[in-house]
Structures are given as structure tokens and as C-alpha cells.
Structure 1
């Protein structure tokens, strides 16, 4: 059997970096992307520990030209290889937003990174996804319209709700090839984005998400679940 191959965006820190660690521990090959590979100290250290199994490439998911360049570079690593898993983990959260002063530039940046990026990247890499592959879009319960109970982080919430729609649409587009697309909430993970009060260790969140991804079947494609596999309201 071929060595499983995954691609993880936002792989320089937090959940993305932990996805890389755990996928390597499984014996797979990983393509890890981030905006500034030269500054990704921990990721580059992992690459040194796993020669031939971890490739680090530049990608700004908010830039369609960067997505196109990655799609051109990926087959150069191994023309015959296909992706078994795509983890759209790169994201941005702008803190400090208040009603009355939400900025158009902040909204645009959030949409480009959190919603447009995963959609366009999945579209661009679709020819390199193996039939039956999985696409995991790292979403958030903050993107759940049914769960809104306050005004907070509007650009993040709006863009994650849009990303959830992208997940549902991608699930339809890729269904004929048996590719499962999931919107996944990692819990309140202990990352820089999660903040000091976060409750879920990063390693636990990623291990749980991988279990959900592994267990998902075609009937689960297009669904919204948390790191324990529980369905979330849209």
C-alpha cells in the first residue's frame, strides 16, 4: 500500500503544527504549508527529523496566486502521488472588534483567509486528491448561526459561517469521487488564537479530530462536528 500523504495549511504553529506531528507519527508523508517557512522554526526542525517525509512549502491561503503556485509545485514532489487528506487549518482571528467600529478591511481579510482560502485551495488541489480522500476544514462553533448569544469577533464568526457553507458545497462537488468533506470544531484549544483560558490541550484536540476524520463515511460528508465527533448546529 502507498504511504498515506497529507497536506496541512497553517502548519507553522498551533493545531496545524500538531497535525503535522501526529500525521508523521502515523508513518505518513506530509506536505506542510505556511506563509513564511523561513520563520517556522519548529516546523523546520521536524523536517530535519523526518527527511523525505516532510516537505515545507510557502502558501498564503488568502492569495489566489500563491494557491495556483502551490498547485503547480505539488506534483513536482512526486508526480504519481495523490493526497489522502487535506487539512485546511490556516486561519485568522482579529481581536478587539466592537459594534460600531467593525472595519471593512478586517472583514475582507477574514473572509479571504478563513472562507475563500479553503474553498479555492480545495478546488485547485482537487486533481491531486485521491478518490475517497478526506478534506478537513477547521471551523469553529463561533461559525454556528444557531449558537449565537452575543456580539463578538464578528469578522471571524461571519467568515467561519461562510466556510461552513463552502464545506457543504465542496461535499456536493466531490461526492462523485467519494471524497468526504468535513467542517470540524477543535474545541477551545490551547493555542495562541484560543487564548489563556482555553480548556482543550492541542494534542488532545488533534487526536480527536483525526479519529473523527478516520471514522467519517460518505454519509457524514458535508457535516459539522466537534473534536469528539458530536454534531454541531449550523
Structure 2
């Protein structure tokens, strides 16, 4: 059965691969990124899937960008509703060192990786059908229990915050049987993960989509990896 999906950060890496696999499954995809006009691979997918892929600009960290996206979205839905929201867009600052951390770095990570996805999901809630799914792309680096060293603190803190906001969202939407998942995609060969990562975007995306497809309301609010295994908070 075809679904209507919104995915953020769809211009490259895992977001682009998720978009590609969703289209191959027959889903209708509304793909967002900050500058769609520069997203050449996304444009090729749109040309190959006319009427199945729509592209809209969205910077999840900026309120005015979220507002513009929300205004542009309803005409693309017609009388339908969203079946799946994938909050994939994120940032990973490099070179963070203790003693040199800045407020701006922390705030940028929190706005992009946690606050933006939560507020987008909140705003889209009226457009989600009952029983829909929200998949927040988190990270095992957001697990407090797994911390063994100082490293990428702004990213780690933002993913921990995303996890808490996701659990809160799961509670807020439980009465409508909307499933909220916090998903670790694995260490993936993307611009963020680097070429040394052991997992291809194709394998990670396929695993994530399988976990999403198998999820029930009993899974809502859980922190899982790309193979569906639970992770510690």
C-alpha cells in the first residue's frame, strides 16, 4: 500500500538513500533540504519518478523556514494525510575540544538536531493520519549510558535531547496510535560518517525502513538501532 512520506535532509547521504528506497517501494515522497535547487541527485530522482517525488525547501532549525514549509505542504497532500515523517536532517560539528566549546556550537546542534525536529513533528501532527509513524534519526552517541570519553559533546547532547523529546512526543500522540521511534542508523559511509564506516547507506536505509514497517504502538518511544535492537538511554 502506497504511503505519503515527508523526509528531511533528503539531498545527500542517508536521506537521499532513504528517499530512493521509499520511491522504489511505491511511496509518494515529499523530500526536503535547505536548497533543493542545488540538490542534483534529488532532481534526477524527481525526473525518474514524475508525480511521485516533490521537493520543498526546509531548514528545520529556522522557524520561518518551518512556517514556509507548513504553508506549502497542504496543497501537495490534497485530501490525504501523512503516513510517515522521517526526521533525518542533522549536523555534526567537527574539532570540538574541552576548554574551547562555544555557546553557538551547542545551540546550533540543539536547534538542528533536537528542537527543530520536535517542533516540526508538533506542527505536522494535525496532518498525520491516526496510526502514522514519526521516525527520528538519533544516534548511539546520544546514549548517556554508553559515554566512555569526551567527544563531539554538542552532537551527543543534541541526540540525547532528541531522544527525550521523542519520548515526550510518543506520549502526546499515544491516544491517536501514532508511533514515535528513535532510531540509530549505525555508522554509515556518508559525509558525516566518513569512508571508513562499516555500513553502506543502502544497508542502513533498508534496515531502518524494515524497523519502521514492523513497528507497532507498543514500540512507540523506544530507542532502537537499524536492526531493531534496543539501545540503552
Alignment TM class, shorter chain as reference: over 0.9
How many residues end up aligned between the 2 structures? 233
Give, in angstroms, the shift of residue 68 of structure 1: 1.5
Mind listing any 5+ residue stretches in structure 1 that lack a counterpart?
A: none
Residue of structure 1 equivalent to 2:203: 204
Q: Distance between the aligned counterparts of 2:136 and 2:34, measured in 1?
A: 18
Instruction: Single out whichever of 115-124 and 71-80 deviates more from structure 2.
Output: 71-80
Q: Distance between the aligned counterparts of 1:58 and 1:183, measured in 2?
A: 24
SS in 1 for 2:134: strand
Q: Distance between the aligned counterparts of 1:203 and 1:154, measured in 2?
A: 28
Q: Distance between the aligned counterparts of 1:85 and 1:60, measured in 2?
A: 19
What TM-score comes out, normalization by structure 2 length?
0.98
Q: Distance between the aligned counterparts of 2:198 and 2:191, measured in 1?
A: 13
Q: Does 1:102 align with 2:84?
A: no
Q: Does 1:182 align with 2:186?
A: no
Residue of structure 2 equivalent to 1:85: 84
Residue of structure 1 equivalent to 2:34: 35
Task: Trace 1:11-22 onto structure 2 (pairs within 5 A).
Answer: 11-22=10-21
Q: Does 1:49 align with 2:63?
A: no
Residue of structure 1 equivalent to 2:115: 116
Give, in angstroms, the shift of residue 223 of structure 1: 0.3
Query: Runs of 4 or more off by more than 3 Å in structure 1?
Result: none
Give, in angstroms, the shift of residue 143 of structure 1: 0.3
Q: Distance between the aligned counterparts of 2:68 and 2:6, measured in 1?
A: 15
* 1:63-104 C-alpha deviation (Å, 9 max, x unpaired): 111112111111111331211110000000001000000111
Task: Trace 1:210-229 onto structure 2 (pairs within 5 A).
Answer: 210-229=209-228
Residue of structure 1 equivalent to 2:69: 70
SS in 2 for 1:167: helix
Q: Distance between the aligned counterparts of 2:123 and 2:77, measured in 1?
A: 17
Q: Distance between the aligned counterparts of 2:76 and 2:46, measured in 1?
A: 15
Q: Distance between the aligned counterparts of 1:64 and 1:129, measured in 2?
A: 20
SS in 2 for 1:112: helix
SS in 2 for 1:193: coil
What TM-score comes out, normalization by structure 1 length?
0.98
SS in 2 for 1:30: strand
Q: Distance between the aligned counterparts of 1:156 and 1:194, measured in 2?
A: 13
Residue of structure 2 equivalent to 1:125: 124
Measured on the aligned residues, the alpha-carbon RMSD in Å equals 0.8
SS in 2 for 1:134: strand
